[in-house]
Amino acid sequence: MKKELMKKVRMFTDPFRVTNGKKFRLRDYDPADTLHLGSEDKPRAKEGLQIGVQALAELQDVLYAQDKWAVLLIFQAMDAAGKDGAIKHVMSGVNPQGCQVYSFKAPTSDDLDHDYLWRCMKCLPERGRIGIFNRSYYEETLVCQVHPELLQKQKLPPELITKHIWQQRYEDINAFERYLSRNGVIVRKFFLHVSEEEQKKRFLERIDNKQKNWKLSSADAKERAYWKDYMKAYEETIRHTGTKESPWYVVPADNKWFTRLVVAAAVIEALDSLNLHYPKVSAQQKAELAAVKKALTADD
């Protein structure tokens, strides 16, 4: 990519990337942060997003053609933080053939008959493609940590459910993501960090707008009572699983236009790091193409 564009990309990624979480504190990240941009900059930010979408489309085309790397994007957030919108807008220019999206809800009985990584492992992206997980195996260190009674439904042997289980899961996830990176699957993880006040506002909008009623359930509202518990679980999860190979991006989510700009920048940066290029054509292939061209133009 052009150096000028990548310089701008890094402006929107460096402040929010977590690669060594030992000193990570969630309170150091403001959900309403927009860096140097104000509301008057929204039109310019939207133009920047469109430039990013086009750049992402070009990179994805080369990724697909080269067929060597795969990209896994993981989105985690509290309800109404804007995961669906971010995915929709940032990936709007990508060829559908090169993108796979999976949304993970509560585990099924079949899922519970396997280890907790199983249902996500079978949905990993193929080489040349971008895979998107809307929620993921990280629910196992988030919702399960807030509601430990869910562990009882996982059919785990009782002696394995100890006070060390969360640390063990962090270690297992780190090992799994390290394995992926060593096999050509790069992982980028996004926590869309919305404030409790902004979530309340968006919940009320969903109630008042009939076309959005379906997006909100009473269960979503009840989870607000566990807000502090969730923030602690996110902090611990990011602190223990933010690595150089598979970084977290703690993306401010109170302003959707800024959220999408940061996510687009992070995906572009990830793809650009792969040194992608179209497959080289051998001398024999060039000769074959020349022969085909000659045959096609013989009647002209």
Domains of the chain, by residue range, sit at 3-296
pLDDT at 23: 85
pLDDT at 36: 87
| H helix runs in the chain, sequence order | 3-13, 42-66, 83-90, 109-112, 118-121, 143-146, 165-181, 196-208, 218-222, 227-241, 256-272, 283-296
- DSSP structural state of residue 19: S
Starting at the edge strand found earlier in the chain, the sheet holding 248-252 runs 17-18, 248-252, 185-193, 70-77, 130-134, 99-103
251: Cα within 13 Å, side-chain hemisphere: 33
pLDDT at residue 279 tops 80: yes
CA distance 127 to 149: 38
Q: How many helices and strands in the chain, by DSSP H and E?
A: 12, 6
Please, are residues 143 and 149 in contact by the beta-carbon 8 Å criterion? Answer: no
* % of residues, the chain, pLDDT over 70: 99
pLDDT at 162: 95
Nearest 5 degrees, angle CA 251-CA 252-CA 255? 130
Please, are residues 193 and 75 in contact by the beta-carbon 8 Å criterion? Answer: no
pLDDT at residue 11 tops 80: yes
pLDDT at 1: 60
pLDDT digits over 152-192, tens only?
A: 889 999 999 999 999 999 999 999 999 999 999 999 999 99
CA distance 254 to 82: 9
Query: Which amino acid makes up residue 76?
Result: Q
pLDDT at 300: 65
Give the residue-averaged pLDDT of 281-292. Answer: 89
- Residues pairing with 242 in the sheet: none
What is the distance in angstroms between the CA of the first residue and the CA of the last residue of the chain?
Answer: 39
Q: The domain 3-296 is classified under which CATH number: 3.40.50.300, 2.130.10.10, 3.30.565.10, 3.10.180.10?
A: 3.40.50.300
pLDDT at residue 116 tops 80: yes
Q: 26 pLDDT band (50/70/90 cuts)?
A: very high
Crossing angle for the helix pair 42-66 and 83-90, to the nearest 10 degrees? 70
- DSSP structural state of residue 138: G
Crossing angle for the helix pair 83-90 and 256-272, to the nearest 10 degrees? 50
pLDDT digits over 212-258, tens only?
A: 888 888 888 899 999 999 999 999 999 999 999 999 999 999 999 99
**Residue 269, both tokens:** 């940066």
pLDDT at 60: 95
* Region of residue 248 (phi > 0: left; psi between -120 and 50: alpha; otherwise: beta): beta
Give the residue-averaged pLDDT of 1-26. Answer: 87
211: Cα within 13 Å, side-chain hemisphere: 0
- If one counts every other C-beta atom within 10 angstroms of the C-beta of residue 71, the result is 24
> Buried b vs exposed e over 246-264: b needs ≥16 C-beta within 10 Å?
bbbbbbbbbbbbbbbbbbb
- DSSP structural state of residue 149: G
Query: Which amino acid makes up residue 60?
Result: Q
